[in-house]
Amino acid sequence: MVALPIAFVEELSALLGDGWSASDADRSAHGTDNSRRTALPDAVAKPRTREQVQAIVRACAAHRVPIVARGSGTSSTGAALPTAGGVAVSFERMNRIVDIRAEDRIAIVEPGVLNGELQQALKPHGLFWPPDPASAELCTVGGNLACNAGGPHTVKYGATRDNVLGLSAITGTGDLIHCGSATTKNSTGYDLTHLLIGSEGTLGLIVEATLKLAPLPPHRASLRALYADVASAAAATARIMAQPNTPAMLEFMDSACIKLARDVGGADIPDAGALLMIEADGDAATLPHAVAVLAQAARGAGLLSLDTAPDEIASEKLWAARKALSPALRSIAPGKINEDVVVPVSRIPELVDGIQALAREFDLPIVAFGHAGNGNLHANILYDPDDAGQDARAQAALPRLFALTLELGGTLSGEHGIGLAKRDFMARAYDAPTLAAMRAVKAAFDPNGLLNPGKVLP
């Protein structure tokens, strides 16, 4: 931490009024996230307009002060922590839904709008924005853009990057740029839109986004399939994904998760080697057919039982085991490292086998669940951070999990991003020339290295 230059503080406090604070309370409130790390900013800025964001970035550039953009702080990677001090830019006052154009299936929003708020506003139009992270009620669209957030519906509707058409952003030099367009096709020059998405505030501060919306399906139905082993569930996943009725969700739980959901979470579910939860969505007229097709694909060697729920109310009961899991995980261990590794669907069995081998080797519960249709599994290492031995074993298991994922042709993160937590593993995911290209892109947008320094790139 360095003291902020007096001229800089005077300029920004004059500009922002009560949107500028260096109080301990504000600094503390903007110095943590869901990674449970802490790093305080020297000051907090709460701009109301893009012009104010631009002025903040220009002042920071002039005085070489680091800038960290911030939504709700739900990141589990430490991406929003001001580890180099400087100014935390909170977008809580830039939270307007600027426009919803139903006939063009787009919404124009400021970054501070909450994902859940946006979905509520879209519902009367019969539309939704597909990214649906577990934190949807709390997290901002800006945060979703920053880490390329996903969620269970990604298997059918895509993640954040697949559902954004255009962005306005302030680069590290304080320039306001406009990428993309309000159209669903664009071959006009370089695609800076997708580049900024997932760059975790290291290339620019997004001040407005043009989102691609999808029609809200009127009906949903669920299937729950239990399998003898992971290989059978993975084979079923491949069968499900090979036919044209793409499920709206295709979620996986391993045997350890099933056991936890029952024994700790109280769910009414028998023992099994693996579970798939499948959601179909669509018209009342065709939903039964979609369910039948998905059930057919779910059937095969190793299937123990298959239950279907034709409507939302019956679905609730089937989803009980999945819903019991998260509280169960919290109750059995005070700490967890929740990763979001991705592998090709065909490699899921090897990933889960490998995770179980790591659990035995490091003598810690490691459970796997998540988005089977995308091969995106949450590997949760459960441990007690106050137990030095457990902590050391958990930290030692983590690089082995990443190494396993990469060996299987996978990648480090499917929806959480890199932040601080996985930064030092980037050199395993990408070779030196590819990292050099990423660094060159970083320098192109942020020549002074002031935007979220120390994140993403090792």
Q: Restricting to residues 419-448, which ones interact with a copy of itself according to CB under 8 A?
A: 422, 426, 429-431, 433-434, 436-438, 440-445
Looking at beta carbons only, is 26 or 415 nearer to a copy of itself? Answer: 415
Instruction: Count the residues of the shown chain that bind a copy of itself, applying the rule CB under 8 A.
Output: 100
Q: How far apart are CA 408 and CA 274, in angstroms?
A: 20
Residues 248-277 that bind a copy of itself (CB under 8 A): none
CB of 435 to a copy of itself, least distance (A): 8
The most distant pair of C-alpha atoms in the chain lies apart, rounded to whole Å, by 71
Q: How far apart are CA 398 and CA 351, in angstroms?
A: 14
With CB under 8 A as the contact rule, the residue among 186, 326, 356, 395 that binds a copy of itself is 186
Pairing mode, strands 97-101 and 127-128: unpaired
386 binds a copy of itself (CB under 8 A): no
171 binds a copy of itself (CB under 8 A): yes
CB of 29 to a copy of itself, least distance (A): 26
CB of 412 to a copy of itself, least distance (A): 5
Amino acid at 211: L
Q: How far apart are CA 364 and CA 380, in angstroms?
A: 10
CB of 356 to a copy of itself, least distance (A): 21
What's the chain's length in residues?
458
Return the beta strands (E) in 130-187 as ranges.
164-171, 176-180
396 binds a copy of itself (CB under 8 A): no
Stretch that binds a copy of itself, among 25-33, 88-96, 109-117, 209-217 (CB under 8 A): 209-217
Residues 43-82 that bind a copy of itself (CB under 8 A): none
Q: How far apart are CA 77 and CA 136, in angstroms?
A: 17
With CB under 8 A as the contact rule, the residue among 51, 99, 191, 316 that binds a copy of itself is 191
Where do we find the tokens 């569930």?
233
With CB under 8 A as the contact rule, the residue among 121, 138, 177, 304 that binds a copy of itself is 177
Calculate the CA 429 to chain-centre distance. Answer: 18
Q: How far apart are CA 225 and CA 251, in angstroms?
A: 10
With CB under 8 A as the contact rule, the residue among 112, 247, 273, 417 that binds a copy of itself is 417
Residues 230-249 that bind a copy of itself (CB under 8 A): 238, 241-246
**Structure token pair of residue 138:** 């709390």
**Structure token pair of residue 364:** 């810690």
198 binds a copy of itself (CB under 8 A): yes
Site string for a copy of itself, 278-317 (x = CB under 8 A): ---xxx-xx--xx--x------------------------
CB of 311 to a copy of itself, least distance (A): 17
Stretch that binds a copy of itself, among 20-28, 89-97, 113-121, 208-216 (CB under 8 A): 208-216
122 binds a copy of itself (CB under 8 A): no
CB of 371 to a copy of itself, least distance (A): 7
Residues 326-385 that bind a copy of itself (CB under 8 A): 340, 342-346, 371, 373-376
Looking at beta carbons only, is 19 or 151 nearer to a copy of itself? Answer: 151
Phi, psi of 348 (to 5 degrees): -55, -45
456 binds a copy of itself (CB under 8 A): yes
With CB under 8 A as the contact rule, the residue among 80, 118, 147, 209 that binds a copy of itself is 147
Q: How far apart are CA 418 and CA 458, in angstroms?
A: 10
- Sequence-ordered list of residues with C-beta below 8 angstroms from that of 278, at least 6 positions apart, any chain: 222, 223, 224, 225, 240, 247, 249, 250, 251, 294, 298
CB–CB of 101/76 below 8 Å? no
Where do we find the tokens 């367009």?
181
Closest CA to 79 of 204, 221, 198, 179: 198
Residues 212-231 that bind a copy of itself (CB under 8 A): 214-218
Q: How far apart are CA 15 and CA 17, in angstroms?
A: 6
